[in-house]
Chain A
Amino acid sequence: MASTQENTVRARAVRKRFPMGEGYLEALKGIDLEIKRGEYISIMGPSGSGKTTLFNMIGGLDKPSDGTVYIDEVDIAQLDAYELAWLRCRKIGYIFQTFNLIPVMTALENVTLPMIFAGLSNDEAISKGRGLLETVGLGERWQHKPTELSGGQQQRVAIARSFANDPSIILADEPTANLDLKTGHDIIELLRKLNKEMGVTIISNTHDPSMLNVSDRIIWIRDGRVDRIEARSDIDINVGTIGGDVLGGVGSADSHGGAAGKHAMDRLTGEATNGGQ
């Protein structure tokens, strides 16, 4: 029992079918996963491999056709609409590829919205929201609307928002895909920092090889199945110490990244060419 308690997310034989034409498209073909509290997980795979579908299943945003997703050992299929809203509000923070800030609200209002849903008073929400924006380095820009912020700044606001109600899990769907390389690294660094400082579990879909360096484990998805799972320790042996400078760029991962990192990069590029239909 002690060991199962540590799993914050668990997937059992998760399948998802989408109606397509006359038949079905099976996006997930039986996924089994166990993610422990405080881990930084990257889910990697070519586009069309089912990453986003898996993200939606884990986040309780969609229901699996078959199989079960447990969050803190609760089968989320058994929760009603209110309980799911509660879970999304307090337990899970979401970060999206396209930032998904509410366009009519300022940065601060975007960050405080989940707190208002959680029943915090306006004053509490504002002071906490300002603090979170401070943490992500946007303390001065809280009055700006999303359209007045750059992509990287918008994603920072989204990160601050995802942490609004001190969730135990952060789900990030390709958080760096719409950002330039440098900004992407800043975002990854920020996520890693928050992961370390707050002990929050981070599960991130990504194409971005520089994500590999900060991940505790990398789950490779291929064609709706878990291809393989690489632990950080496997990479450590080859890469040596992973310091802050590894975040410096893909270039550095390439040059002194060692066999596993290189291997991962090769896989990625290989799959990008082979996997694209």
Chain B
Amino acid sequence: MDEQITHEEAIRRLRTDMKTSSVATPFATALKIAFQSLRIRFWRSIITIAGIFFAIAFLVSVLNSAVVELAVNPDEGSQVSGTGIRFILTLLAAEPRQAWLVTMSLIVCVIGIANAMLMSVTERYKEIGTMKCLGALDIFVIELFLLESGFQGLVGSFTGALIGAGLVLVSALVKHGFAVMGILPWSQMVINILLATVIGLLLTLLGASFPAYRASQMPPADAMRTEV
């Protein structure tokens, strides 16, 4: 039928147009919006960051306490060995009670992040819908929320790891005196700090991924109909 031919011709022409001009996912713009959103919700961001901060500070304190303990009382028969991830895994395997506590704190942290991001997504339904009307791709919306949470995760994890390691150091000095400084395996402790930061960041992104995905999949009409 006439209508059918016209339609196929029209869709072919539209797709030719699409080849010559694309829709971009501007990273710099996403970064800017994510930062401004964090700034506007400063105190809530701080609370979210605090959740990650404490979980990671706890993780690092468990790890580095064990490092200090091993350095002060070398135990030939210990199952805890190696550095980095291997160290973490053997430590947690050797101390199930600690493993349990660490796991629980990390789970609570991920749930906290997911909750904070769901809230952030919910109160910005209209904004998300508007951006989609302006031509934002789904991936841009995901990018926006992952950047936002990723920044919180990075700041919270890194400061948490530093403070956690600092406290372990202070307690080691108090317990064993200044001489302990000479026998501590510093590189291993630094590796633990970096690893804990990465773990914190990855868990944050994990917690944020579902809310971000949900935000990106919403049809713009639904997004804008929602009154919060």
Contact between chains at A104 and B33 (CB < 8 Å): yes
Contact between chains at B2 and A1 (CB < 8 Å): yes
CB distance from A63 to the nearest CB of B (A): 7
Contact between chains at A116 and B219 (CB < 8 Å): no
Residues in A whose Cβ lies below 8 Å from that of B39 = 104
Q: Which of A61, A73, A74, A114 contacts B220 (CB 8 A)?
A: A61
CB distance from A171 to the nearest CB of B (A): 9
Q: Which of the segments A77-85, A208-216, A227-235 contacts the partner chain?
A: A77-85
- B125-154: contact bitstring with A at CB < 8 Å (1 yes, 0 no)? 011011111111110100000000000000
Contact between chains at B23 and A82 (CB < 8 Å): yes
- A43-78: contact bitstring with B at CB < 8 Å (1 yes, 0 no)? 000000000000010010111000000101111001
Q: A62-B222, A86-B23 are in contact. Are A102 and B127 (CB under 8 A)?
A: yes
- B3 CB-CB contact with A under 8 Å: yes
- B108 CB-CB contact with A under 8 Å: no
In residues 89-131 of chain A, which contact B (Cβ within 8 Å)? 89-90, 94, 96, 98, 100-105, 113-114, 116-119
Q: Could you tell me the distance between the alpha carbons of A75 and B6 in the complex, rounded to whole angstroms? A: 11
Q: Which of the segments B14-22, B66-74, B77-85, B163-171 contacts the partner chain?
A: B14-22
Q: Could you tell me the distance between the alpha carbons of A223 and B219 in the complex, rounded to whole angstroms? A: 24
Contact between chains at B10 and A117 (CB < 8 Å): no
Q: Could you tell me how many residues of chain B have their Cβ less than 8 Å away from some Cβ of chain A?
A: 39
Q: Which of B10, B129, B134 contacts A113 (CB 8 A)?
A: B134
Q: Could you tell me the distance between the alpha carbons of A32 and B7 in the complex, rounded to whole angstroms? A: 17
Q: Could you tell me the distance between the alpha carbons of A3 and B14 in the complex, rounded to whole angstroms? A: 19
Contact between chains at A117 and B221 (CB < 8 Å): no
- A267 CB-CB contact with B under 8 Å: no
Residues in A whose Cβ lies below 8 Å from that of B224 = 61, 96, 100
CB distance from A147 to the nearest CB of B (A): 11
CB distance from A34 to the nearest CB of B (A): 12
Contact between chains at A59 and B133 (CB < 8 Å): yes
Q: Could you tell me the distance between the alpha carbons of A19 and B33 in the complex, rounded to whole angstroms? A: 35
- A185 CB-CB contact with B under 8 Å: no
Residues in B whose Cβ lies below 8 Å from that of A81 = 137-138
Contact between chains at B23 and A117 (CB < 8 Å): yes
Contact between chains at A119 and B3 (CB < 8 Å): no
Which partner residue on chain B sits nearest A120 by CB separation?
B24
- B19-55: contact bitstring with A at CB < 8 Å (1 yes, 0 no)? 0011110100100010011011000000000000000
Contact between chains at A117 and B36 (CB < 8 Å): no
Which partner residue on chain A sits nearest B219 by CB separation?
A62
Residues in B whose Cβ lies below 8 Å from that of A75 = 7, 11
Q: Which of B9, B23, B130, B138 contacts A100 (CB 8 A)?
A: B130
Q: A73-B7, A118-B23 are in contact. List 11 more A-B contacts (CB 8 A).
A: A4-B6, A62-B220, A74-B7, A78-B11, A81-B138, A83-B18, A86-B22, A100-B224, A102-B131, A104-B40, A161-B134
17 examples of A-B residue contacts, CB within 8 angstroms: A5-B6, A74-B7, A74-B11, A74-B14, A81-B137, A85-B136, A90-B135, A100-B130, A102-B127, A103-B127, A104-B39, A113-B131, A116-B29, A117-B23, A117-B134, A118-B21, A118-B24
Which 4 pairs of residues, A with B, have the shortest CB-CB distance? A89-B135, A73-B10, A62-B221, A104-B36
